[in-house]
């Protein structure tokens, strides 16, 4: 089984020159578009992690102290909106830069 | 950005082109196409302003302590909510500023929600409108701080708590204060623009039920962004007029 997998991978590696020919025929690569895809992915991923931390802390706080729910909810919403805006700054740069 | 004129903008351009050109000439600006000076976001802002004026004009004569009507109840809820936020943040003499906060909140809320109606667009989807709200807020909290403390003391409070940190603190504080209208603008604009683009994208992919979910999300985000803008304004005004105790 292992030798079959290696054979398949070797055949795929041999196929990569085909992609190069297509890319060159299409014109210069649009690096801005490629980079903006990665930039947005990284920004969204880290924003997701940060918001997850915020929500987890808020849930735990509300579970420990239900009386403070209103204050915790207020801090949660404020924090989420501010973290969200960081990912949106990346999106705005992309909207401005990508043709 | 949408080049297509909405029916309302076409109406304005057909009948009120002279007024548009005169208004632009007042501030020394030029329209791209002088025959059609009105842009979509200008006419939509006019709609929002008219809606607010008509709403308050209808409510004002019926205000009553003993027998409040439904509209009065609704606006009392909004007013109490904003006054509660001002007190939560702890603004010194906050009562003076609630008028600005509520005007800002209602304007941004109605502007955001206007996009849900089929042939209208949210004016906050275009960069100049959130920029205008943010610049107005920027001048408002700085002028509020200057009126509270005096111009020199207000500028001096950017230098931080101790005198020997002042050369470091002063540029940092100035830059962070200048960054506030920038972040307010981009937050509001990007949320509204992205919400509409996502709905349009899914309209192309799965036309029937899926865009409705995104429009619902867009409504929620409209309320949330109007609230966040107002809350941050309250925090900035609170910071500007704060007294060291």
Please give the average per-residue pLDDT across B97-121, as a whole number: 93
Which of A70, A71, A80, A88 to mutate to test binding with chain B, by most B CBs within 10 Å of its CB? A88
pLDDT of residue B224: 93
List, as ranges, residues 69-88 from A with C-beta within 8 Å of B: 74, 77-78, 81-82, 84-85, 88
Domain boundaries, chain A: 30-97
Higher per-residue pLDDT: A83 or B3: A83
Minimal CA separation from A92 to chain B, in Å? 6
Q: Tokens 């904003």 appear where?
A: B82
pLDDT of residue B39: 86
Which helix (H) or strand (E) segment holds residue B243: the answer is: none
pLDDT band at A9 (very low <50, low <70, confident <90, very high): low
pLDDT score of B145 more than 60: yes
Angle between helices B7-15 and B40-59 (to 10 degrees): 90
Torsion of the alpha carbons at A14, A16, A17 and A23, rounded to the nearest 10: 170
List pLDDT tens digits, range A44-99.
999 999 999 999 999 999 999 999 998 899 899 889 988 998 999 999 888 888 87
pLDDT of residue A19: 44
Q: Which residues of B touch A95 (CB under 8 A)?
A: 193
Please give the average per-residue pLDDT across B215-233, as a whole number: 93
What global pTM score does this model have?
0.84
pLDDT band at A22 (very low <50, low <70, confident <90, very high): very low
DSSP string covering B143-171, please?
A: HHHHHHH-HHHHHHGGG-SSGGGHHHHHH
Secondary structure, 3-state, B33-58: CCCCCCCHHHHHHHHHHHHHHHHHHH
Domain A30-97 coded CATH 2.60.40.3880: no
Please give the average per-residue pLDDT across B189-217, as a whole number: 88
pLDDT of residue A3: 67
Please give the average per-residue pLDDT across B22-27, as a whole number: 84
Q: Which residues of B touch A43 (CB under 8 A)?
A: none
Q: In 10 A of CB B121, how many CB atoms?
A: 23
pLDDT of residue B245: 58
Q: What are phi and psi of B118, to 5 degrees?
A: -50, -50
Average pLDDT, chain B: 88
Higher per-residue pLDDT: A11 or B52: B52
Q: In 10 A of CB B115, how many CB atoms?
A: 22
pLDDT score of A21 more than 60: no
Pairs of residues, one from chain A and one from chain B, whose beta carbons lie less than 8 Å apart = 30
Higher per-residue pLDDT: A6 or B145: B145
Higher per-residue pLDDT: B128 or A10: B128
Could you tell me the CA-to-CA distances from B140 to B137, B143, B146, B238 in Å, in that order? 5, 5, 10, 12
Nearest to B241 by CA among B106, B129, B121, B146: B146
Task: Choose the weakest-confidence range: B2-11, B95-104, B144-153, B184-193.
Answer: B2-11
Q: Which long-range contacts (CB under 8 A, 24 or more apart) does B234-238 make?
A: B234/B85, B234/B86, B234/B89, B234/B91, B234/B94, B234/B97, B234/B101, B235/B89, B236/B137, B236/B141, B236/B180, B237/B91, B237/B97, B237/B140, B237/B141, B237/B144, B237/B145, B238/B89, B238/B90, B238/B91, B238/B92, B238/B94
Nearest to B105 by CA among B157, B52, B165, B43: B52
Among partner residues B88, B190, B227, which is closest to A88 by beta-carbon distance?
B190
* DSSP H helical ranges for B60-158: 70-89, 98-114, 128-149, 151-156
């Amino acid at each position: 089984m292992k030798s079959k997998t290696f054979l398949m991978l070797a055949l795929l590696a041999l196929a990569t020159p085909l992609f190069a020919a297509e890319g060159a025929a299409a014109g210069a690569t649009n690096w801005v578009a490629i980079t903006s895809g990665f930039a947005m992915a990284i920004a969204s991923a880290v924003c997701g992690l940060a918001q997850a931390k915020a929500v987890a802390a808020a849930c735990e706080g509300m579970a420990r102290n239900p009386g403070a729910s209103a204050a915790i909810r207020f801090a949660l919403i404020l924090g989420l909106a501010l973290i969200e805006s960081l990912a949106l700054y990346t999106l705005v740069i992309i909207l401005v830069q990508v043709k | 950005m949408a080049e297509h004129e909405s029916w309302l903008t076409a109406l304005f351009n057909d009948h009120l082109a002279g007024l548009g050109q005169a208004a632009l000439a007042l501030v020394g600006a030029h329209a791209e196409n002088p025959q059609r000076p009105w842009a979509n976001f200008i006419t939509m802002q006019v709609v929002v302003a008219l809606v607010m004026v008509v709403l308050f004009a209808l409510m004002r004569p019926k205000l009553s302590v003993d027998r409040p009507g439904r509209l009065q109840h609704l606006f009392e809820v909004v007013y109490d909510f904003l006054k509660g936020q001002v007190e939560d943040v702890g603004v010194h003499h906050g009562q003076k500023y609630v008028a600005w906060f509520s005007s800002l909140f209602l304007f941004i809320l109605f502007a955001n929600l206007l996009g849900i109606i089929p042939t209208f667009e949210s004016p906050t989807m275009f960069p100049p409108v959130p920029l205008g709200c943010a610049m107005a807020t920027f001048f408002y909290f700085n002028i509020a701080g200057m009126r509270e403390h005096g111009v020199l003391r207000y500028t001096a409070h950017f230098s931080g708590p101790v005198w020997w940190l002042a050369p470091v603190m002063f540029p940092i504080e100035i830059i962070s204060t200048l960054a506030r209208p920038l972040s307010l603008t981009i937050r509001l604009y990007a949320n509204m623009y992205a919400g509409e683009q996502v709905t349009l994208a899914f309209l192309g992919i799965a036309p029937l039920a899926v865009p409705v979910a995104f429009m619902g999300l867009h409504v929620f985000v409209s309320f949330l962004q109007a609230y966040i803008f107002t809350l941050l304004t309250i925090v900035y005004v609170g910071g500007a007029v704060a007294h060291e105790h």
